Amino acid sequence: MSTEKEIKSSKRSLEEAEKNESTKKLKVKSDKKDHKEEKNKKEKKEKKDKKEKKEKKDKKDKKEKKEKKEKKDKEEKKESKSDDTVSSEQTAVPAAAAAAAAPSSAEVTKFLADNSVKIEDDSNSNIQPCLSFDSLPVESKIISILKKFPKPSPIQAASWPFLLAGRDVVGVAETGSGKTFAFSVPVVNHIIQEKKKGVRALVVSPTRELAMQIYDSLVTLTNVTDISAVCVYGGVPKEEQRQGLKKASIVIATPGRLKDLIEEGSADLSKVEYLVLDEADRMLEKGFEEDIKSIVSNTNSDGRQTIMFTATWPPEVRKLASTFMNNAVKVYIGERDELAANKRITQLVEVIDPFRKEQRLLQLLKEHQSGAKKDDKILVFALYKKEATRVERLLQNRGFALAAIHGDLGQAQRTKALEDFKTGRSKILLATDVAARGLDIPAVKVVINLTFPLTAEDYVHRIGRTGRAGQTGLAITLFTEQEKHLSGALINVLRGANQPVPDELLKFGSHTKKKEHSAYGAFFKDVDSTKKATKVKFD
Ligand SMILES: Nc1ncnc2c1ncn2[C@@H]1O[C@H](COP(=O)(O)OP(=O)(O)OP(=O)(O)O)[C@@H](O)[C@H]1O
């Protein structure tokens, strides 16, 4: 019995031992499993951490790289803009040579005084004018084009160094004083050196004809480089302009067509570094202000250099101009606050009965195109397109061979008329204010204002079609009682240019009315809805 008991007991102990063993095994197994899971978990976490760390590092590296590149680009741009560091191999007027040719301080003082140059520069950067082409630190190819002129004109001499140093500039100088090259030369020079793709410079002009003329001027500079320019303006098909925009570095444009091309996605201005508003006061007047704001918003506001040139700079537009600019330098040649006409133009004003104006025009044309003067070019301004059309017919009936340019004509007719007048095929051009600003027509001897324009500024621009580039000229203005509200402003312009003021004009009063119709301005306002009806009847 006892043996059986012992056997049973040892069997039980054996079973217990086995059970313990198996529990132990199970436990070990489970511990092992837990351990493995933990390990996996740990590895996974480590992997994740590592990945996140790497991503963070990559991001940081990328950011640093980008910042470094931007800094480098900025520095390079700054360097290329700095007038004394333009020393690339291609620059045949190296900084050293340009510095050697730099004017003495006595020469600078004389230049500033002789030309009534006023420079307003809040940064006090002490940038000196550049009085000869030899002291201009730009590409030799550009200098070779400029050397057809004896020396820089005052506005060029005073504004080039600031523009080359990358500053925003407002340049105000009389009509016909070389403002187009004043802004074009630095822009083309920068673009040659940058060699980047895309539209880098945008020049905006108020009229199609002026846009084309600026393009022609710029092309004389870009022709000696591999830079491409395109002119975009209304009244002609868009396709050629779209193609041109694909490869152009410089765009010259009128606002309406440019806005169209931006909206349809054909014009990308995001890389524009140079924005030029030619005839800037006109571009900032009501009729264009919204277009300009919208165009400017498409350019890169950070790195953009903004440049405004004009012959007239009324206080009304100065504040708006400053919103587009960054600490701009103002360069004035001549008057700063007075509306000033070119002093080489003789201004004659005849106060006349409105009914007699056209008769008087016929006399004047005969008088100024007879004998030795028979081939002289005369530009006649009417105010509205209906008036222009009527007078065109009148002159044709009287046997005058003339060209006409106004808003009633198609673009092809306008372009042909201007071309005929430029080349001298037509000796008379009858125009509305579409031709008042900027047009550089060789050898216009006389400007006749058949009807006074809507503003004294427009008067200054109109008469500025003669007496260009140092020449003299004659402007004859028929002034009637209907314009007497402008007599004060006209008297000021006459006095400012040392011109005689007729007593009949003085009788209208010399009080100057504030400019009232910025909404009209000079261009494309060939509508006569606001003109008071006259009782004159014409066939
Ligand atoms: N340095 C210079 N010396 C002499 N003539 C020059 C010089 N630079 C430009 N010109 C010439 O002067 C003429 C007038 O220049 P431009 O048309 O640029 O005048 P502007 O000041 O823009 O006139 P506006 O106010 O009427 O627009 C042009 O025929 C141009 O070739």
How far is it, in rounded angstroms, from Cα 53 to Cα 48? 8
Determine whether the shortest distance from the Cβ of 469 to ligand 1 is under 6 A.
yes
Mean pLDDT of 197-221: 96
Greatest distance between any 2 Cα atoms in the chain: 165
| Helices and strands of the chain, counted as H and E runs | 18, 14
pLDDT value at position 48?
Answer: 67
What 3-state DSSP class applies to 46? helix
Task: Tell how far the Cα of 480 is from the centroid of ligand 1, in angstroms.
Answer: 32
Kindly give the distance from the C-alpha atom of residue 468 to the centroid of ligand 1, in angstroms, as a whole number: 7
pLDDT band at 5 (very low <50, low <70, confident <90, very high): low
Predicted confidence (pLDDT) per residue in 324-348, tens digit: 999 999 999 998 888 999 999 999 9
Residues 6+ apart with CB under 8 A from 347: 341, 463, 475, 477, 493, 494, 497, 499
Q: What is the pTM of this model?
A: 0.79
Q: Look at residue 383 and tell me whether its pLDDT is greater than 60.
A: yes
Find the mean pLDDT for residues 443-451: 97
ipTM above 0.95, yes or no: yes
Q: Assign a CATH topology to domain 105-333.
A: Rossmann fold (3.40.50)
Amino acid residing at 93: V
For ligand 1, the distance from its centroid to the CA atom of residue 217, given in whole angstroms, is 10
Residue 62 confidence class, pLDDT cut points 50, 70, 90? low
DSSP string over 138-163:
S-HHHHHHHTTSSS--HHHHHHHHHH
Q: Which residue minimizes the CA distance to atom 23 of ligand 1?
A: 176
Region 456-461: what's the mean pLDDT? Answer: 96
Sheet holding 428-431, edge to edge: 345-351, 473-479, 444-449, 377-381, 428-431, 402-405
Q: Check residue 509 and give its pLDDT.
A: 82
Q: Which CATH superfamily is domain 345-507 in?
A: P-loop containing nucleotide triphosphate hydrolases (3.40.50.300)
The residue-averaged pLDDT of 354-380 equals 96
Which residue of 144, 149, 313 sits with most ligand 1 atoms within 8 Å of its CB, as the best mutation to test the pocket?
A: 149
Residue whose CA lies nearest to ligand 1 atom number 31: 178
pLDDT for position 86: 32
Residue 137 beta carbon below 6 angstroms from any ligand 1 atom: no
Per-residue pLDDT tens for 256-287?
Answer: 999 999 999 999 999 999 999 999 999 999 88
* DSSP secondary structure letter of residue 510: -
- Under the banding of pLDDT at 50, 70 and 90, the label for residue 528 is very low
- 322 φ, ψ to 5°? -65, -20
Q: What string of DSSP letters covers 428-494? A: EEEE-GGGTSS---TTEEEEEESS--SSHHHHHHHHTTSS-TT--EEEEEEE-GGGGGGHHHHHHHH
Centroid of ligand 1 to alpha carbon of 178 (angstroms): 3
Ligand 1 within 6 A of 521 CB?
no
Listed in order, strand segments (DSSP E) in 179-289 are 201-204, 229-232, 250-253, 274-278
Distance 353 CA to ligand 1 centre (A): 37
- Indicate the pairing of strand 305-310 with strand 274-278: parallel
Domain ranges of the chain: 105-333, 345-507
**Percent of the chain residues topping a pLDDT of 70:** 76
What is the pLDDT of the chain when averaged over all its residues?
A: 84
Identical fold, 105-333 and 345-507: yes
Q: Tell me the C-alpha distance between 360 and 368, whole Å.
A: 12
Q: How far is the CA of 27 from the centre of ligand 1 (A)?
A: 99
What confidence tier does 103 reach under pLDDT thresholds 50, 70, 90? confident
What are the residues facing 378 on neighbouring strands?
428, 446
Q: How confident is the model at residue 301 (pLDDT cuts 50, 70, 90)?
A: confident
318 vs 170, 193, 328, 490, 525, CA distance in Å?
Answer: 10, 32, 11, 22, 23
Q: How far is the CA of 322 from the centre of ligand 1 (A)?
A: 25
pLDDT over 70 (residue 505): yes
Q: Is the CB of 467 under 6 A from ligand 1?
A: no
Burial of 392: CB neighbours in 10 Å, binned 0-12, 13-18, 19+: buried
Is any ligand 1 atom within 6 A of the Cβ of residue 464?
yes
